[in-house]
A and B are shown apart, each in its own frame.
Chain A
Amino acid sequence: MKKDKTQKLRSLFVGIGLIAAAGLILAGCPSQQGMMDTREAAQKVYVAPGEHDEYYGFFSGGYSGQLSVWGLPSGRFLKVIPVFSQDPETGYGYSEETKPLLQTSYGFIPWDDSHHPHISQTNGDADGRWIYINANNTPRIARIDLQTFETKEILELPNTGGNHASSFVTSNSEYVIGATRFSIPYEMDLDVPIDSYSEEFRGALSFIELDPETGMMNMGFQIIVPPYNYDLGRAGKGVSEDWVFFTTYNTEEAHTMLEVNASRNDKDYIAAVNWRRAAELVSNGHGETMSAEYYHNYYEGNQGFAINDVKDQVTVLTPEDGQEFIYFLPTPKSPHGVDIDPTGEYIAAGGKLATVIPVHSFSRMIEAIENRDFEGNVENIPILSYDATIAGEVENPGLGPLHTEFDGRGYAYTSVYISSEIVKWSLETFEVVDRIDAYYSIGHLMITGGDTKNPDARYLVGLTKTAKDRYLPTGPKQNHPAQLYDISGDRMELLLDFPTIGEPHYAQAIRADKITQNVKQIYEMEENDHPHALLRIADNRVERDGDVVRIYMGSTRSHFRPDNIEGIRVGDTVYIHLTNLEQEWDVVHGIAVKGAQNSEILVAPGQTKTLKWEPTRTGIYPFYCTAFCSALHQEMQGYIRVSAADSDVSLVWRTGTN
């Protein structure tokens, strides 16, 4: 007994000693907190009530599948735009209009993993017209209209497993890119043994054409490449604007235990693609048409039901000897990010297992191509010599560099995951000039106005992977943090730290005035081309066609028309087409029906939305407006009578006479 106690005491002292020693060591280190005087920091992020932020921040939702919108620098949460996941709050993916958007060649998919939002560009600058974002799991790209902040279009990518290197746009929004992170057999639904990987599996790099007027996507062509993992991509700028770049890892061609098996090679590649040349080759008939099944979902008019345009072909381009449109740049250790500086000259790779940040030079790359400075060739893709393209290696970047953005003043900022910090380095000397802690384990970072020719580099946002003790604890799973840094001076300074939604990967921020000038306040009733719109309130009615009942309902403050409906029968399929006839900004009505196996549906002013309801029991079903629309919102309700399947209650509808 006595001995036991002494032992416990001894181990306690040892423990305390260790903690004290650790404390001393830690205290001895220079602080990298970089937090400016709290009052000064507060002033920099304070946006007075009623005033607006200078920037919109668009943060990917990661495993939420959505896109969240923030005001910066205040960190004010503005909105979640539902994109790849159903959203019962708004009825997105539940209303008949939006359900087709989530349709794929695998059926209706209620969820995805959204990673990299990218704003459309004109002359290398973000123009604020649309924002594209990728779905990683079931490969797709969505277009969100920044006049209404709504998802308007989703395109599925064939021959793709894990669309991660997406959805980056070229300098004049000619293309948005996608790629396969997980190489798969590219012939449709090919059933082969997994260990036939090297023979049967291939990568596909996708080039999706964008319509300059509407932003609409069209699957342009895919380039078939060796079976590596194509991880991230970026379009070139300025001098390199005809090029896009993709990182690869798993050049080992492993198909199991990649953690080990894909980390063996000293160098993997950055694939540099001259998209203009590739597109020329395709238009000159060098592509091949392959069968493929993929969905293209969009709205034909202003409103109505999204349609599913099912495609059965895709054009693929397989590199042939002498075509010279794609090259491999050897790059150390499973690079993750590939980021292009504002001039388009520097190509920085985030060698996540490397001890340096390798930076390639675009002009040296072109020179190497001209001098035929090749080390070899894989499947007709020339491999350039590392020494010929490299411009510099940034030493001591910390452990696990991932992504880089640029301030346009000669500096780059790289997120470093394992050592949980941001390093600032010079594009002239390739030396680290400043570093600052991230809380904790940073993934992407973004600079306001970033990934353009003219970054408006006031702030930097770091998007980190764990919150741990940063906020009031909220259980074993907490939301992911974002940290805002002031980068206008020589040193980075931490200003603000706030939790986000989902798991933001990449984010973009744009000067607010580029968007506010175009934001719509209402949907014009005059432009409502929904096939079941109620254009005049007096036309409200109920129509039966066999077992299908359509209720043409209108809402204005504070009633529905009609609000008493009888003659619905068990077994009917009821469509409630609700038109919000208001023409006033932000006056929203909603509808929910008791027992409907569906979400509520929110309807913006001037919009028509459809709730599908299949009543299974007889009785009286109240329905009501779910949005607190007006002083008499509580009165905004109605009743639907559901009778037995064989009943002969006639179809009637009423409003206003008790």
Chain B
Amino acid sequence: MKTESRIAMGLAAMLLAGLFYFPFWTIDMSAPQYPEGIGMYIHIDDVTGHKRHDLQSINTLNHYIGMAEIHREDFWEFDVMPWVIGFLIVFGLIAAAIGSMKLVITWIILMVILGVAGLVDFYLWGHEYGNNLSPDAPIKVPGMTYQPPLIGCKQLLNINACSWPYTGSIFIGLSMLFAGGVIWYENKFINKSDEDS
């Protein structure tokens, strides 16, 4: 691998560190009585409100329709994800240090697999969260479930819930772009040197 490829790969790995500082997903909720907005951010190690106490308010509101409360402790994912990201950073740095294309390709494949696994996990959680309703719920709307959208917007009673990638995901995107760029650049170089010889 060329030196510039190694640097790019190192950067790709390091970019993932942004996930430790920025949430990678947001769920925005809007309702007539929430002109100030309400919603939550998903980080690799936590779920927080858009505003300081939004999560508490979301839990209060959701108890009327029998949805479970959201607490960080209930998600094993938040304990695992920081290690996974840490592993990917180290892995990526090793790939860059050694300069092995095989490792770079493995790294990208791992990223894709983990990303898809994350989305599937998120979908399964949403399904559980929106469908497993308490039988004691004060408000029961026949046929209504409250699964939040995986991505995009959905009207749930008086609330329009929108689910989108957030700042942290830009780091993932850039990281993938850099790693992809390394493969493209290296391929071009290999092809060129083939022609030369």
Chain A: residues with CB nearer than 8 A to chain B?
Answer: 522, 556-558, 582-585, 631-632, 635
Contact = CB atoms under 8 A, between A and B. Distances in A.
Given A583-B52, A583-B53, A585-B36, A631 B139 contact: yes
B57 interface: yes
Contact of B57 (A583, A631, A635): A583
Interface string B28-55: 0000000010000000000000001100
A51 to B, nearest CB: 12
B64 A584 contact: no
B57 A584 contact: yes
A31 to B, nearest CB: 45
Nearest to B58: A584
B60 interface: yes
A632 B60 contact: no
Interface of B: 36, 52-53, 56-57, 60-61, 64, 138-139
Contacts of B56: 582-584
A632 B53 contact: no
B36 A632 contact: no
Contacts of B60: 556-557, 582, 584
B57 A632 contact: no
B64 A632 contact: yes
Nearest to A606: B53
A462 to B, nearest CB: 35
- Secondary structure dominating the interface of B: loop
Contacts of B139: 631
B52 A631 contact: no
A632 B52 contact: no
Contact of B53 (A556, A557, A584): A584
A582 B64 CA distance: 15
Contacts of B64: 557, 631-632
A460 B64 CA distance: 50
Contact of B138 (A556, A583, A584, A632): A632
Interface centre among A582, A583, A584, A632 (most CB of B within 10 A): A584
A605 to B, nearest CB: 9
A382 to B, nearest CB: 60
Nearest to A586: B33
24 contacts: A522-B53, A556-B60, A557-B60, A557-B61, A557-B64, A558-B138, A582-B56, A582-B57, A582-B60, A583-B52, A583-B53, A583-B56, A583-B57, A584-B53, A584-B56, A584-B57, A584-B60, A585-B36, A631-B64, A631-B138, A631-B139, A632-B64, A632-B138, A635-B138
A584 B60 CA distance: 10
Contacts of B53: 522, 583-584
Given A522-B53, A557-B61, A584-B56, 16 more contacts: A556-B60, A557-B60, A557-B64, A558-B138, A583-B52, A583-B53, A583-B57, A584-B53, A584-B57, A584-B60, A585-B36, A631-B64, A631-B138, A631-B139, A632-B64, A635-B138
Contacts of A635: 138
A373 B104 CA distance: 95
Contacts of A585: 36
Nearest to B35: A50
Contacts of A631: 64, 138-139
Contacts of B138: 558, 631-632, 635
Nearest to B52: A583
Contacts of B36: 585
A422 B138 CA distance: 61
Contacts of A583: 52-53, 56-57
A599 B52 CA distance: 33
A143 B60 CA distance: 35
B29 to A, nearest CB: 13
A632 B140 CA distance: 13
Nearest to B60: A557
B88 to A, nearest CB: 36
Nearest to B59: A556
Contacts of B57: 582-584
Nearest to A631: B64
Nearest to B158: A631
A558 B53 CA distance: 18
